[in-house]
Amino acid sequence: MSTLVLVGAQWGDEGKGKIVDCLAEAADMVVRYQGGANAGHTVVVKGREYKLHLVPSGLLNHKVCVIGNGVVVDPAQLLSEMDRLAAEGFDVGRLYLSDCAHVILPYHKRLDAVEEDRRGDRKIGTTGRGIGPAYRDKFSRTGIRMADLLDAAVFREQLAAHLEQVNTFLERVYDQEPLHFAEVLESYIGYAERLRPHVTDTSLLVNRAIDAGQRVLFEGAQGTLLDIDHGTYPYVTSSSPTAGGACIGAGVGPTRIGRVIGVAKAYATRVGDGPFPTEIEGAEGDWLRERGREYGTTTGRPRRCGWLDLVALRYAARVNGLSGLALTKLDTLGGLDRVRVCVAYECDGRRLEEWPHNTALLARCRPVYVDLPGWSEDVGGVRRLEDLPVAARDYVTFVEEHAGLSMSIISVGPDRDQTILRGSLF
Ligand code: IMP
């Protein structure tokens, strides 16, 4: 089967955008299956940087791109990305949007902000893009889907009913200004007309492409440890970035998935709150943040930085059924005397080899590190594994052995060609 799911194996920001961009070269179709504009992909093509939130980065490779039913779509954000790409000469006519995808409305963003504010010191650190409230509406069966948005009469009726409820809540509970029905209606009807040519039954589109033997790449946003079921709940996003989410969020059956590749940075980062056992406080963490330019694509927030966590990576391998690993930003680690890798945790006097689901317990876990020799050479020009400095190669081998995964891709710099590819992936 020529299908491949690419998932984040950590807390998001693993550099998936660049890996998707490399793989999209060989793919016929690229499909986003969950999340929304909370995601941020930075892709560098020929030295030029593109920041995408909703549009799959495969569009930069002139591929057919799909935003699946599992995504929550902010139409204004999507249109602004499409406009920018069109102005740069990319063909946005190749972008399709599921008629079952849920629509983010202005009240989702308002609620995201006020609810986060009310959490006080129990903040999740959301991106403020309305993701949680939009998925909540979806599961409470009060959401509005693209198909509804395209039908003006249906949309008007649904919006009126829902806005009345939301406004009562905003005014009475949160002491906020209400939203104006006519304003929201008018702007969203405008978005609907512009998006109409792109909206279709994308499950049919994707399944037909698979039937025709085309290579389909499913692109997950965020990462395994932010998954609503498998992540560090409640410090998670509201969707399923894990590989199973690709089936639900794209409308394909599990029997149609060929391979699953996890993307992990050679170290670890996290934005937002929640436990992070290998977090490095102080100068070394700051050094890693600056060297790796670890600032959020979507919010600009500084990312928390830490060492690679193999307990977490083994967990990601298990819950995603990973067939292989893409290791990114190996170049960032260059210049350190020693590189630390977490192989187990210690908690309450016990050694843990497996990821604990109890978030409070995870927050008490202390990493058990193995220190490996560092390397000082610049690896940005390396294109074959055997040409890496011995210490960098040993690092890669150590990760492979302890995660029980083989390395399919190693990224040694932000540019498309700064990549070590091991065999064909599709
Ligand atoms: P939300 O997805 O905006 O609701 O945020 C929930 C949590 O997921 C917060 O900790 C965010 O920082 C985190 N998050 C959401 N999207 C991303 C992403 O693309 N990369 C990294 N973290 C993310």
Ligand 1 centroid, distance to 127 Cα (angstroms): 6
**What pLDDT does residue 50 have?**
86
H/E run at residue 44: strand 41-45
- Per-residue pLDDT 10s for the chain (426 aa) are 799 999 999 999 999 988 998 899 899 999 999 999 999 887 777 778 888 999 998 999 999 999 999 999 999 999 999 999 999 999 999 999 999 999 999 999 999 999 999 999 889 999 999 999 999 999 999 999 999 999 999 999 999 999 999 999 999 999 999 999 999 999 999 999 999 999 999 999 999 999 999 999 999 999 999 999 999 999 999 999 999 999 999 999 999 999 999 999 999 999 989 999 999 999 999 999 999 999 988 888 999 999 999 999 999 999 999 999 999 999 999 999 999 999 999 999 999 999 999 999 999 999 999 999 999 999 999 999 999 999 999 999 999 999 999 999 999 999 889 999 998 888
| CA separation for the pair 33, 264 (Å, rounded) | 19
The answer for residues whose C-beta is within 8 angstroms of residue 332's C-beta and 6 or more apart is 265, 266, 267, 288, 291, 292
The confidence score (pLDDT) of residue 424 equals: 82
Q: Show which residues are catalytic.
A: 13, 41
Q: Is the CB of 245 under 6 A from ligand 1?
A: no
**3-93+201-421 against 102-197: fold identical:** no
Question: What is the architecture, at CATH level 2, of domain 3-93+201-421?
Answer: Alpha-Beta Complex (3.90)
> What are the residue ranges spanned by the domains of the chain?
3-93+201-421, 102-197
pLDDT score, position 217: 97
Q: Does the Cβ of 241 fall within 6 Å of ligand 1? A: no
Superfamily of domain 102-197: Adenylosuccinate Synthetase, subunit A, domain 2 (1.10.300.10)
Residue count (the chain): 426
CA of 134 to the centre of ligand 1 (A): 14
Q: What angle do CA 125, 129, 133 make, to 5 degrees?
A: 85
pLDDT of residue 44: 78
Q: Which atom of ligand 1 is least distant from the CA of 129?
A: 3
